[in-house]
A = this chain, B = another copy of it.
Amino acid sequence: MAIVVMKFGGTSVGSIERINRVASHVAREVRAGNQVAVVVSAMSGETNRLIGLTQEAASLHDAKEYDTVVATGEQVTCGLLAMNLQQYGIRARSWLGWQIPIRTVGLHSAARIDSIGTDGLMADLENGVVTVIPGFQGVSLDGRVTTLGRGGSDTSAVAVAAALNAERCDIYTDVDGVYTTDPRIESKARKIDRISYEEMLELASQGAKVLQTRSVQLAKVHNVKLKVLSSFIDPENCTEDDLAGTLVCDEGDIVEQLVVSGIAYSRDEAKITLRHVPDKPGIAAEIFGNLADAGVNVDMIVQNTSEDGKTTDLTFTVPEAEADRAVTSLRDAARKGEFGEIQADKNVSKISIVGTGMRSHSGVARKMFETLAAKGINILVISTSEIKVSVLIESEYTELAVRALHSAYELDKV
């Protein structure tokens, strides 16, 4: 018998009616002869409601108490799903973070999973009992409730799958898989059947919101086969095809690699340019040290060699929400005359092409630049990695760029 981990997010358990559907999905896997561990999020809206209460109760909250409050959302879903499964004649029990235990280390509200106790879970699974586990939560070494931070439920599911040595970790979500790009922008976007961990990581961090970067990273390290599929499939009446979703797996498990697998975009970017930065050692370290101290996450960085050997321009991107903080943190240095003007521009988007096939193909980036040029789209910043090329463009060209690239790399063809 194989162990299967099934993870259902907040929308999938957002009402008792939907929890009923989740139970049917679980029943389907049980009937197929699998041992099933289910990981669930809080009912949609519940975590925000609880966070709202903590914000009202204390402007600066103790993260330990915050976690104690916020972790209840998942606890409620666990109990409800376990009793709902029993209603269908399926033996089930909830296993809370501290009962398993899911031991975490690190900061409260942003804890990392250190170890997962498997004795209790395995005993239940071997007895045919479905174990229902709250995502997002754990317990610290000194026995306090912890949470993994926003979106941590995917990470919980992958960690449980790794600990139980599960055959698959199925992530049920509100889309039926990972697409070549956002179907709301490009109606010809295709569902991807298989994608490598590396590509998924790049897509996730470049703005595709299907999976959390952190969970993909963990799946890669522990070689957990992740499947993304829709929780809105009718569990009583579905085909193998409906359940195919997108498999995130090792590169070796994908027969034919496309050069480019997907196009990601993010509007949540801001570009900051520092003029007349002295071309001397240590200046970049000082600037980015200031930004790090201010808690600003810098993404793309571009610095040209200076023309006159004295000053240069430095451009970088930060999340839009952090742009003002970034500018403030640099103003002191600018005032001291360490560099010239600071220019911030929030009307920018980042477009990325991702594909492991790039490693063995040349001319991939050139096609990107040519395609954008043909549409009259100006490239502001370029950044590349082994399997990704990202460009920063003006926001208003976002959809045009995505569609042009989707077609240029023939992603609309099967």
Contacts and interface: CB of A to CB of B under 8 A. Distances in A.
Given A79-B66, A83-B62, A16 B143 contact: no
B58 A68 contact: no
A4 interface: no
A78 B86 contact: no
Given A50-B76, A69-B76, A69-B79, A84 B96 contact: no
A290 interface: no
A75 B84 contact: no
A10 to B, nearest CB: 15
Contacts of A19: 57
A214 interface: no
A79 B65 contact: yes
B80 A69 contact: yes
Interface residues of A, number: 38
A113 interface: no
A236 interface: no
Nearest to A81: B57
A59 interface: yes
Interface in A53-95: 53-54, 56-62, 64-69, 72, 75-76, 78-84, 86-87, 93-94
Given A68-B94, A93-B65, A94-B68, A57 B75 contact: no
Contacts of A82: 62, 65, 68
A64 B87 contact: no
A188 B98 CA distance: 53
Nearest to A88: B58
Contact of A96 (B54, B59, B62, B68): B68
Contact of A54 (B66, B75, B80, B94): B80
B57 A83 contact: yes
Contacts of A72: 72, 75-76
A62 B65 CA distance: 29
Interface in A12-41: 16, 19
Nearest to A56: B16
A53 B76 contact: yes
A145 interface: yes
Contacts of A67: 79
A115 interface: no
B57 A84 contact: yes
A384 interface: no
A143 B86 CA distance: 20
A99 interface: yes
Given A53-B16, A65-B94, A94-B68, A58 B76 contact: no
7 contacts: A54-B80, A54-B83, A57-B84, A58-B84, A69-B80, A75-B75, A99-B144
Interface of A: 16, 19, 50, 53-54, 56-62, 64-69, 72, 75-76, 78-84, 86-87, 93-94, 96, 98-99, 143-145
Given A16-B57, A65-B94, A68-B96, 19 more contacts: A53-B80, A54-B79, A57-B81, A58-B87, A59-B87, A60-B87, A62-B83, A62-B86, A64-B93, A65-B78, A65-B80, A65-B82, A65-B83, A68-B82, A69-B80, A69-B83, A98-B98, A99-B143, A99-B144
The 6 residue pairs across chains A and B that have the minimum distance between CB atoms:
A69-B79, A68-B79, A72-B72, A58-B83, A16-B56, A65-B83
